[in-house]
Amino acid sequence: MSECVFCNIPEDEVIAQDETIAMAKLLVEVKELLDAEFAPAGYNIGVNVGAAAGQTIFHLHVHLIPRYVGDVPDPRGGVRKIKRSLVPYAEEGE
C-alpha cells in the first residue's frame, strides 16, 4: 500500500492537484484490499468540508465505506442510516 501522509489543510483552502491524485490512488488501493478481503457489494465515498456540510472533525479526510446488500433496509440516501452517530447531535437527543 502507498505511504499515507497526513497534513493539515484549512477548510477555506483548495488542495493541490498532486494531493488530489494521491488521495484517489489511495482510495483505489484501499478499495482493492477491501474487495479482496470482504467482497462488499458497493461503496459510499464522501468528503465533508465545513460545518455547513456536516463536517465535525476539521481536517481533510475521505470516507470509504463498504456496503452490503441488506446492511440497511433502504440504502437510498447513502450513509445517513448505517449506524448511530459517533458524535452527539442536538437533534438526536444525545
Q: With 70 as the cut, is the pLDDT of residue 84 above it?
A: no
> Pairing between strand 42-46 and 63-67?
antiparallel
Please check whether residue 1 lies inside any domain of the structure.
no
Q: With 60 as the cut, is the pLDDT of residue 80 above it?
A: yes
Please check whether residue 66 lies inside any domain of the structure.
yes
Please check whether residue 29 lies inside any domain of the structure.
yes
- Report whether 41 contacts 69 (CB < 8 A): yes
Domain that holds residue 42: 17-89
What pLDDT, on a 0 to 100 scale, did the predictor assign at position 53? 77
Query: Left (φ > 0), alpha (ψ -120 to 50) or beta: where does 27 sit?
Result: alpha
- Report whether 82 contacts 71 (CB < 8 A): yes
Please check whether residue 55 lies inside any domain of the structure.
yes
CATH classification of the domain holding 36? 3.30.428.10
Please check whether residue 94 lies inside any domain of the structure.
no
What pLDDT, on a 0 to 100 scale, did the predictor assign at position 33? 96
Looking at the structure of the chain, the number of domains it has is 1
**Euclidean distance between CA atoms 94 and 63, whole angstroms:** 23
Q: What is the pLDDT of residues 2-56, one digit of tens each?
A: 344 556 666 566 778 888 888 899 999 999 999 999 999 999 998 877 888 777 8
Please check whether residue 8 lies inside any domain of the structure.
no
Please check whether residue 3 lies inside any domain of the structure.
no
